[in-house]
Structures are given as C-alpha cells and as structure tokens.
Amino acid sequence: MAFGFRKSLLIASAAWLSVLSTLSEAATVTYDFDVAWVTANPDGAFDRPIIGINGQWPIPQITCNIGDRVVVHVTNSLEWHHPHGRPPQVSQCDIPPGHKLTYDFTVDQPGTYWYHSHTRGQYPDGLRGPFIVHDPKSPFAGQYDEELVLSVSDWYHEQIHNLLPAFISKGNPTGAEPVPNNALFNETQNLKVPVQPGKTYLVRMVNIGAFAGQYVWFEGHNMTIVEVDGVYTQPAEAEMIYMTAAQRYSFLLTTKNETKANYAFSGSMDTTLFDTIPDDLNWNVTGWLVYDDSEPFPEPAVIEGDEFNAFDDMELVPFDNQTLLGEPDQTIQFDVIMDNLGDGANYAFFNNITYTAPKVPTLYTALTSGELANDATVYGEFTNSHVLQKDQIIQIVVNNLDTGRHPFHLHGHQFQTIHRSAADEGTFDDTNTTMADFPKIPMRRDTVVLEPNGNVVLRFKADNPGVWIFHCHLEWHVASGLIATFVESPKQLQDTIKLPQDHLNICAEGHIPISGNAAGNTIDLLDLDGQNRAPDPLPAGFTARGIVALVFSCVCGILGVVVVAWYGLAPDPGTAGPALQSDGNSTEDDGQRGGVLGAGGKTAGAPVETVKASGSAAGR
Ligand SMILES: [Cu+2]
C-alpha cells in the first residue's frame, strides 16, 4: 500500500525546509497508524470488512497547523489474499504486509485535504480520511465561531478487490464502472449535526468518494465559499455546490437565530456518471442541522434532473488575486480516450498511452539517472512521463474525447484553470488565442471537472520539485490507466533528496529495484528492454464497438438457448403462480428512486466532529 497525501510526502521534507526557518513556532504532530481490516456497516445494509486504522473506522482525522512537521508511522497489517492491480510506483514502493513506513513532512499550505491509499483500490474500501491544516493567519480567521468537518462519499457493498478484476476484463468491454450502492455523509447516513443558533460555522467539506460526484445543498441556509482545494477565495455565495471525488470546499454557514426547526442537508450522486442505474439505488444521502433534538427532522426536498443548478467554480476568484501566468514554456496536450486492448478489456488513455507502472518507482529513476533524468525516455514508454524544468510555465490542455465527466487532479500544485468548455464543445483550439482570451485572475485549485466531449486548459509554474502525477480521480480510471507523470526539476531532486532507510527497506522486502530506468536497467538507461508494458493493441479491424456487438450477439445467442431450455424445463403455469406473485411485490421498492431520504441508515446519529476555531490539533 502507498499513501497519497494531498501535498508531497517524502519529497516535501527536502523541498520545504525553507518554510521551517520562517515559522519558529512550528510543532511536530505525530500519529501512529496501524492499518488493518475491521468490520463496519456504514449504510445499515450489512457488516463487511473495511480497512481501518488502530481498530477504528471511520479512520482518524489528521489535524495540524500550517508550518507543523507531521510524522506518521504507518504499519501495514493488511493481509492480501487476492492482490489485484499494481501499485502506481511513483514516489515510493508499496508497504508490504507486516511492514512499517514513516511519512515525515512539513506542511506549508493551509486548508482542507484528505489522505488515502493509492494502491489496489484501497481507499474505496475505507482507507480515506480528512486532513485539516489550520491557519492562524487565514483571511477569514475571526469571521466564524466553530469549524465542522463534513465528508461526502459513495459506498460499495462489494469489496473493491472483487470489483476491480471484473471491471478490467473482457467481460466488460465497454468499461462500465461499478455503480456505488449508497452515498454517505461522514461515512454514515442520517447524520445529525448539532448547531447553535446565531453562529457562523466554517464547514470544511471533502468528497472522499471513489467515483460519484455529488451535488450538496443545505435547506434554508446559504454557503459562502471561502476556500477550494487549499486556495482561499474571495467570498462567493452558493445555494448548491458540485463536488467531484477529491474536491474540497470550505464555506461559511450562518445559523438561524431561533431553534424552532431542524434543517435537512443533502448529497445527491451525479447519476450521469453511471452507465446503469440499478432499480434499488438511492443516490441521495441526508443529514440534518440540529437546532433542537426534540423538534421533527423534516424530509428533504426532492431535486432531480435539470433542477440541479450548482455553483460554477470557474467564477471563483483566488483571495490573493494571483494574475494569469505568462505564456507557457511548455504545453502538454492530453486527449482522453477510452478504448479496448488486445486482452479485450477497456482501458483509459492519455493520447495513445494507458499508464502501466514502471518496475522502478519514477522518483527513484529520477534520482539515479544523472543527466539522463532530464530525458523522459528513462521513465518508460507507458508512464506518460514529462520532464518539467525549474520555474517553467506549464500549460496542460486536456481534451475529452469520451462521453463521461472526469475530475482531473494534479499532485504538488494548484493550477490556474484558464479555460473550461461546456460539454460537447470538442477539443481546445488555440489558433488565434491570446492572453486576452483568458481570465485576468483565473480560478485556482487542484482538482477540476472536465465535461463530456469538452476541454480544459490549466497553467502552473514548476516551482515545487518532485514527481507528481496528474490523473483522473475516479478510482476506476486510476485503475484503467488515466495517469500521467511530471518529473519536475530532476536536478534539484538529485541535489536535495536523500531517501530514508525505511523507504529503501520496503522496496527490498517487495523485491522492487530502486535504481535505473523504468525497466530497472542501470547500465544503458535508454534501453527499456523488459519494462512493464500495457497489453498489446487489438488486432487490426477490431473496434470497441465491434467487441460490444460481438459480446452482445454472443450473450443474445446464449440467452436464447437458456430461455429455450428454461421454457422446456418450466413446470405448468398453474403451479408457478405464488412465486410470480411475490416477484411482483418486489417492484414496490422502485418508488424510492426519486426520493431523497436514505432508506437504510441504521447507523444514524453518529456525531459530527466539532473543532474549535482556535483549533489546537487533536493529535498532539
Ligand atoms: Cu475518469
């Protein structure tokens, strides 16, 4: 397993030392995490194994102040009987079962983050939690009384290591992603959040889900957005926000002056992401702002289809008014494509490459290839690697040639989103485009929605040396290869980073090479013989549509045979009567599809964690 924190980990300790010198009151916040399976039942359906920490689930929140050093000792007590999917091998080796690793880094940016595993679909199995960085110098300090941390997420009844192999298989040639079974607030349903009248709360929301974007709104209350993905914004009023997986919003919410009623708040999963909508799916989750426990808990209003009118995050203005970065030194274009490979499974591609983990973690290749670290070839043919040089202005153009929405996330930077098309506007055309066509003060964040058949243009300055991935944050598309790698300032990395011994130890335990190119070749770094490869392309003439047609006709054929056999074997219609009747009753559940209220919810009432605005860190 490998953790992904929102900002750098290991690399951070080297790159951010300068920050420490300016923050004399920095503390060290230490956590000991033993990661192991526990049993839990977040949506009231049934108990299932979930990945917890120190025997608990939901897992603990990490809390610190800006400038603090955060030390997390992780022990991996997970037993993997069915390992599926390769770890991404970007900046570290996987932690083998039974082994420990320490993450030691200094936090240099404030805001709302989360931590999660980026290995083998572990985060949708529960290994996901908020990571809050308090900032005494926040421009909004003093404008609120208390903080609330609120996660929204999706939940699968089936474990991810069972769903993954079926998702990427020739049995699923269209790449239909598994549809979640439920939505959750703070990893439960029917959440009750006690509030005081006449107070202003800073609500820190984070979508820690695997797949579903969610519309979120509070009945009878407005949200004043003040932060997105760690970037303070000019205050912006919103009635409803849309949060993709991995996005964060902080907003001020002022309560009523009286306690006569309680108010529902809702999350509603973006069902346009789902290829099918199971009959029993309730895509909504409800919580309540509780003014008075003895008052009723009203049913939330139903919102459907075109009624979803979420705040457009392109309208946000960063609080620091950072202006449009200059003309790019390097423009990288990624066309998003879903297609089948020779094994019949469906993969996700940037241009013609579906990410395939290198044998040597990319950071380790950067540290051990000398001058050739500047040549993207050494990082392998299937990693979508690009080398960024210090202080270059980088422009990323992402064209969506797919019919689905994708949330793109960049590690290590908050990018300016200088253009985003509506759906179906096609690829970005930069002929005749000048600086004047872009906003003077662009919206900045680290995870942005790309609309179906649309495009987005991002810009950032390469001022944070590291190995950073750029990827779709739908966990299914991470697994099917929608990842690119930026190797930023490899020379600085070589000059500043010394790998801790425990990081090297876990590589040795896992028999992962720690030097050389992506193929592990340490002699001829341009020879990639033996590198991990994506499956071969389909034979000429086979298209995704052809496969679908083939599978469909096979299924129809088999179905035909089965129906004939079943018909032949069926008892007389008269004797089958009672069974048919009971089937008919089960369709009553369909009435729930338009509803908002969670039906399961036996775990109702788990209290929300309340943190005082002054916020001494919980983990100290
Ligand atoms: Cu995606």
* H-assigned helices in 405-485: 475-479
Mean pLDDT taken over the chain: 85
| Candidate from 266-270, 382-386, 565-569 with smallest mean pLDDT | 565-569
| Own/partner pairs, 301-308, CB within 8 angstroms, 24+ separation | 301/219, 301/264, 301/266, 301/596, 302/594, 302/595, 302/596, 303/215, 303/217, 303/266, 303/268, 303/596, 304/594, 308/215, 308/240, 308/242, 308/268
Ligand 1: centre distance to CA 567 (Å): 43
Ligand 1: centre distance to CA 399 (Å): 12
**Beta strand pairing status for 28-40 and 69-76?**
parallel
Ligand 1: centre distance to CA 459 (Å): 20
Nearest residue to 87 (alpha-carbon basis) of 118, 116, 115: 118
pLDDT in the model for residue 566:
43
- How far apart (Å, rounded) are the C-alpha atoms in residues 581 and 5? 53
Ligand 1: centre distance to CA 492 (Å): 32
Ligand 1: centre distance to CA 559 (Å): 32
Ligand 1: centre distance to CA 481 (Å): 9
- C-beta atoms surrounding 432 within 10 Å: 6
Ligand 1: centre distance to CA 403 (Å): 10
Ligand 1: centre distance to CA 73 (Å): 32
pLDDT one-digit tens code per residue, 111-134: 999 998 877 678 899 999 999 999
pLDDT one-digit tens code per residue, 369-401: 999 999 999 999 999 999 999 999 999 999 999
More reliable by pLDDT, 583 or 479: 479
Ligand 1: centre distance to CA 478 (Å): 8
Ligand 1: centre distance to CA 107 (Å): 29
Helix/strand/coil for 500:
coil
Ligand 1: centre distance to CA 172 (Å): 16
570 pLDDT exceeds 60?
no
Unique residue bearing structure tokens 């058949």:
453
CB 460 within 8 A of CB 337: no
- How far apart (Å, rounded) are the C-alpha atoms in residues 339 and 477? 12
Ligand 1: centre distance to CA 63 (Å): 30
pLDDT in the model for residue 558:
56
- C-beta atoms surrounding 326 within 10 Å: 10
Band the pLDDT of 582: cuts 50, 70, 90: very low
Ligand 1: centre distance to CA 475 (Å): 8
- How far apart (Å, rounded) are the C-alpha atoms in residues 214 and 204? 15
Q: Which residues contact 611 (CB under 8 A, 6 or more apart)?
A: 63, 132, 146, 147, 148, 149, 618
Band the pLDDT of 302: cuts 50, 70, 90: confident
Q: What distance separates the 2 farthest-apart alpha carbons in the chain?
A: 85
Ligand 1: centre distance to CA 43 (Å): 26
Ligand 1: centre distance to CA 504 (Å): 32
What's the average model confidence in pLDDT over 603-615? 34
- How far apart (Å, rounded) are the C-alpha atoms in residues 217 and 315? 18
Q: Which tokens in the block code for residue 179?
A: 């549809």
| Candidate from 162-176, 272-286, 554-568 with smallest mean pLDDT | 554-568
Ligand 1: centre distance to CA 164 (Å): 15
pLDDT in the model for residue 609:
37
pLDDT in the model for residue 596:
34
- How far apart (Å, rounded) are the C-alpha atoms in residues 14 and 106? 9
pLDDT in the model for residue 563:
45
Nearest residue to 267 (alpha-carbon basis) of 200, 169, 326, 188: 188
pLDDT in the model for residue 556:
57
Ligand 1: centre distance to CA 604 (Å): 32
Please give the order of strands across the beta sheet that includes 330-340.
Answer: 346-350, 330-340, 393-400, 455-461, 415-420, 443-445
Ligand 1: centre distance to CA 443 (Å): 21
Cα dist from 594 to 207, 301, 590, whole Å: 23, 11, 9
What's the average model confidence in pLDDT over 459-472? 96
Beta-strand runs (E) in 255-384: 263-269, 284-290, 330-340, 346-350
568 pLDDT exceeds 50?
no
The number of CA neighbours under 13 Å toward the Cβ of 443 is 22
Ligand 1: centre distance to CA 252 (Å): 30
Say if residue 438 is exposed, middle or buried (CB neighbours under 10 Å; 0-12, 13-18, 19+): middle
| Candidate from 322-331, 456-465, 605-614 with smallest mean pLDDT | 605-614
Ligand 1: centre distance to CA 233 (Å): 26
pLDDT in the model for residue 193:
98
pLDDT in the model for residue 581:
29
Ligand 1: centre distance to CA 472 (Å): 5
pLDDT one-digit tens code per residue, 490-501: 999 999 998 889
Q: Which residues contact 575 (CB under 8 A, 6 or more apart)?
A: none
Ligand 1: centre distance to CA 4 (Å): 18
Ligand 1: centre distance to CA 219 (Å): 31
Q: Which tokens in the block code for residue 75?
A: 């022990």
Ligand 1: centre distance to CA 394 (Å): 22
Ligand 1: centre distance to CA 272 (Å): 13
363-391 as b/e: b if 16+ CB within 10 A: bbbbbbbeebbeebbbbbbbbbbbbbeee
Nearest residue to 131 (alpha-carbon basis) of 238, 12, 246: 246
Ligand 1: centre distance to CA 338 (Å): 9
Q: Which tokens in the block code for residue 507?
A: 């590589």
- How far apart (Å, rounded) are the C-alpha atoms in residues 550 and 544? 10
605 pLDDT exceeds 70?
no
Q: pTM of the entire structure?
A: 0.83
- How far apart (Å, rounded) are the C-alpha atoms in residues 310 and 372? 47
Ligand 1: centre distance to CA 385 (Å): 19
| Candidate from 51-60, 149-158, 562-571 with smallest mean pLDDT | 562-571
Band the pLDDT of 431: cuts 50, 70, 90: confident
Ligand 1: centre distance to CA 229 (Å): 19
Ligand 1: centre distance to CA 92 (Å): 24
Ligand 1: centre distance to CA 482 (Å): 7
Beta-strand runs (E) in 18-99: 28-40, 48-53, 62-65, 69-76
- How far apart (Å, rounded) are the C-alpha atoms in residues 417 and 318? 11
Ligand 1: centre distance to CA 406 (Å): 4
Q: Which tokens in the block code for residue 216?
A: 């979120």
Ligand 1: centre distance to CA 301 (Å): 30
- How far apart (Å, rounded) are the C-alpha atoms in residues 49 and 155? 13
Ligand 1: centre distance to CA 507 (Å): 30
Ligand 1: centre distance to CA 216 (Å): 21
Ligand 1: centre distance to CA 337 (Å): 10
| Candidate from 48-62, 144-158, 295-309 with smallest mean pLDDT | 295-309
Helix/strand/coil for 256:
coil
Ligand 1: centre distance to CA 474 (Å): 5
Phi, psi of 56 (to 5 degrees): -115, 150
Ligand 1: centre distance to CA 473 (Å): 6
DSSP codes, 501-558: HHHHHHHHHTT---SSSTT--SS-TT--TT---PPPBPPTT--HHHHHHHHHHHHHHH
Torsion (CA) 66, 395, 391, 503 in degrees, nearest 10: 60
Cα dist from 433 to 392, 419, 437, 453, whole Å: 20, 11, 6, 20
What's the average model confidence in pLDDT over 307-335? 97
More reliable by pLDDT, 26 or 207: 207
Ligand 1: centre distance to CA 319 (Å): 29
- How far apart (Å, rounded) are the C-alpha atoms in residues 114 and 53? 15
Say if residue 557 is exposed, middle or buried (CB neighbours under 10 Å; 0-12, 13-18, 19+): exposed
Ligand 1: centre distance to CA 558 (Å): 32
Say if residue 86 is exposed, middle or buried (CB neighbours under 10 Å; 0-12, 13-18, 19+): middle
Q: Is the bond into 194 cis (omega within 30 degrees of 0)?
A: no
Phi, psi of 21 (to 5 degrees): -65, -25
- C-beta atoms surrounding 185 within 10 Å: 27
Ligand 1: centre distance to CA 304 (Å): 23
**Beta strand pairing status for 111-117 and 3-5?**
antiparallel
Ligand 1: centre distance to CA 251 (Å): 27
Ligand 1: centre distance to CA 318 (Å): 26
Helix/strand/coil for 470:
strand
- How far apart (Å, rounded) are the C-alpha atoms in residues 91 and 483? 14
pLDDT in the model for residue 10:
32
Ligand 1: centre distance to CA 407 (Å): 6
